[in-house]
Amino acid sequence: MAQAASRRIPEGEGTEGEEIEKKGDRRMKKWMVLFFILLICVPTLTHAQSEKDAVLALKKLQAKIQEGISYMDYRNALGEAKFPLNIFLESKDAQKYPELSISLKKVMGHYEYAGFIWDGKISGGVLGSYIGVNSDVGKEIGQLYPNARKDTKEGGALTDLPTLNAYDIDSLLPLIWKEASMELDNATKLHENLEEKSSEETATLKKEIGELKKEVARLKEENDRLKNPQKVKKGN
């Protein structure tokens, strides 16, 4: 009695349906990878708001000083400006943009030093209006602000009193604030350059994401066609 011959499928070789299913699975994995890339890329489209807030806070403080500000209002305004600045400096963006971070720190450093000098005037009474050139603070001022060593008539902070070798705080504060404004101008330019660069990168990224979405859609459609050939045929 003749036995029906049966074809033995070699190891590693599957049926046509299994091969189609494997091919579909490979495309599904590729689709999932592309989808994951989309999830990573989309958040990067948002430019760091903390950076912008820090610059605006310092410019707001600058404007208040230019309008004229009292000692108490200055202390409050200084605290208000420090909060958004600290938020930025503690963020990852501060590490990403070190040049801007250093510049903003310098700006706040000037404003804080002016506050320190003003504190001395308020607590020292009449004598607090002057700082001896050869005192510890006076020597520090001479190093930090070389222009202060000029006479007040020449734009410096040295008092014109012949018997007093000292800095006039009323002349010193505007000088320090001027240095802060100059550094703030530099920080503002750095910020604007970063925003311009970010806008270009965002446009490029949006284009790449659009292309990825099309590829994901194509792979998904192809995967559905491979896994459901009969359904596709009926649809046609």
What token pair was written down for 44? 């990067």
pLDDT at 196: 77
Domain ranges of the chain: 45-202
Sign of CA dihedral 75, 78, 82, 84: positive
Angle subtended by helix axes 71-89 and 49-67, to nearest 10: 170
Q: Is the pLDDT of residue 152 over 80?
A: yes
Does the global pTM surpass 0.75?
Answer: no
Within 90-153, where are the H helices?
Answer: 92-96, 98-124, 136-144
DSSP code, position 4: P
Q: Do 58 and 184 meet the contact criterion of CB atoms below 8 Å apart?
A: yes
Question: What was the pLDDT predicted at 82?
Answer: 96
Q: Per residue in 73-103, pLDDT tens?
A: 999 999 999 999 999 999 988 988 999 999 9
Predicted local confidence at residue 124, as pLDDT: 77
Instruction: For 163-205, write each residue's pLDDT tens digit.
Output: 889 999 999 999 999 999 999 999 999 999 888 765 554 555 5
Instruction: Check residue 210 and give its pLDDT.
Output: 61
Average pLDDT over residues 133-146: 95
The CB-based long-range contact list for 101-108 (8 Å cut-off, 24+ gap) reads: 103/183, 103/186, 103/187, 103/190, 104/54, 104/55, 104/58, 104/187, 106/183, 107/58, 107/180, 107/183, 107/184, 107/187, 108/58, 108/81, 108/82
Nearest to 100 by CA among 176, 189, 177: 189
Q: What gap in Å lies between CA 236 and CA 229, rounded to an integer?
A: 11
**Which tops the pLDDT comparison, 96 or 45?**
96
Percent of the chain with pLDDT over 90: 50
